[in-house]
Amino acid sequence: MAMVCLTDFEEYAKEHLSKATWDYYAAGADECCTRDDNILAFKRIRLRPRILRDVSMSDTRTTVQGTEISFPVGIAPTAFHCLAWHEGEVATARGTEALNTCYITSTYSTCSVEEIVAAAPNGYRWFQLYVYRDRKLSEQIVHRVEGLGYKALVLTVDVPYTGKRRNDIRNQFKLPPHLKVKNFDGVFQQEASVPEDYGIPANTLDPSISWKDVYWLQSITHLPIIIKGILTKEDAELAVEHGVQGIIVSNHGGRQLDGGPASIDALTEIVDTVQGRIEVYLDGGIRTGSDVLKALALGAKCVFIGRPAVWGLAYKGEEGVREVLQILNDEFRLSMALSGCRNVAEINRNLIQLSKL
């Protein structure tokens, strides 16, 4: 069967992954309202296409943090890619490198940052970071990725505690014995008796994390810091005041606080608050090229996909990731042209029928 759209990959993954693995990737918190609304919110937004604009030539290129990428879709940080495909994050890195876009590597990778860089040496990568109670753990990995040529740190700030994902509890989800959180391989061996939380000893994440930790991070690295997990204008303003270089508007794929806004619904107030002082990105709910167009029209510089990348992996590894990205690229180019936009710079809020929001 030809894979025509991202939901084709979703159906394939659901059919071919084990129930526990599928449930883990699909999980939202509690009743999954926010997870589902991430997708439904895009469907509520209507476009105002312009016609007779000579769209015979189109250009999807953009820049993020000063680096040119082929189109404004990257890979969001998602954990445990080896559950979907035996090569895991190595395949994701190669697939993303082939499309010349940004791959945010997860702390919770089942391949190490060194393996990922070796597999795709020319790829453009950021690294997603959590802050642990033991600050040395976070500091060591920051220095590792900086030395390996990662270009930014993506500080995830919406997980002081892990959200309640009911199916993971029902399934008693655990990484299979042959897989590890590779970036911490050997670090926790002496604590083998401690209960685990997604491959790491429970209570390792630091719930006391606060804005002062942004300053701490700035003191140990020269990399740009992007904060992932902001949903309000108040926190967007604080992010700017604390000197970060970007914001990813995100609700963690609906996996943390159920009942929060869809990412796309939170975007406008954050863009209006930031006023171009730093770059604003978005993840959550991107399933079509027109979703990408809508997010950019509302002020996102780039969007990131999480679950669809995993579906691509489950389908055909590196090639599947490449196909998912290529489909989004083609759909985005077509949506741009049908809306009268020849390049990314021509996409603006006039494309959105605001009365329907």
Of 81, 86, 242, 252, catalytic: 252
Q: Is 24 annotated as ligand-binding?
A: yes
Q: Is 130 annotated as ligand-binding?
A: yes
Q: Is 78 annotated as ligand-binding?
A: yes
Q: Is 77 annotated as ligand-binding?
A: yes
Q: Is 136 annotated as ligand-binding?
A: no
3-state SS class at 230: strand
Q: Is 165 annotated as ligand-binding?
A: yes
Biggest alpha carbon–alpha carbon distance for the chain: 67
Number of neighbouring beta carbons within 10 Å of residue 300: 27
Contact in structure between 342 and 58 (CB atoms under 8 Å): yes
Q: Is 222 annotated as ligand-binding?
A: no
CA-CA distances (angstroms) from residue 307 to 6, 121, 128, 154, 246? 10, 24, 16, 18, 22
C-alpha to C-alpha distance for 179 and 66, rounded to whole angstroms: 36
C-alpha to C-alpha distance for 86 and 333, rounded to whole angstroms: 32
Among residues 341, 292, 328, which one has the least CA distance to residue 96?
328
C-alpha to C-alpha distance for 152 and 149, rounded to whole angstroms: 9
- Tokens at 291, concatenated: 């979703």
The full DSSP string for 309-334 is: HHHHHHHHHHHHHHHHHHHHHHHHHH
The full DSSP string for 96-112 is: HHHTT-EEEE-TT-SS-
| CB-based burial, 138-162: b 16+ in 10 Å, e otherwise | bbebbeebbebebbbbbbbbbbeee
Q: Is 228 annotated as ligand-binding?
A: yes
CA-CA distances (angstroms) from residue 225 to 44, 74, 158, 244? 32, 17, 15, 5
Whether 222 is catalytic is no
Q: Is 133 annotated as ligand-binding?
A: no
C-alpha to C-alpha distance for 183 and 27, rounded to whole angstroms: 24
Q: Is 253 annotated as ligand-binding?
A: no
Q: Is 252 annotated as ligand-binding?
A: yes
Q: Is 156 annotated as ligand-binding?
A: yes
**Residues tagged in the binding site annotation for glyoxylate:** 24, 165, 252, 255
**Residues tagged in the binding site annotation:** 24, 77-79, 106, 128, 130, 156, 165, 228, 250, 252, 255, 283-287, 306-307
**Residues tagged in the binding site annotation for FMN:** 77-79, 106, 128, 130, 156, 228, 250, 283-287, 306-307
Active-site amino acid positions: 252
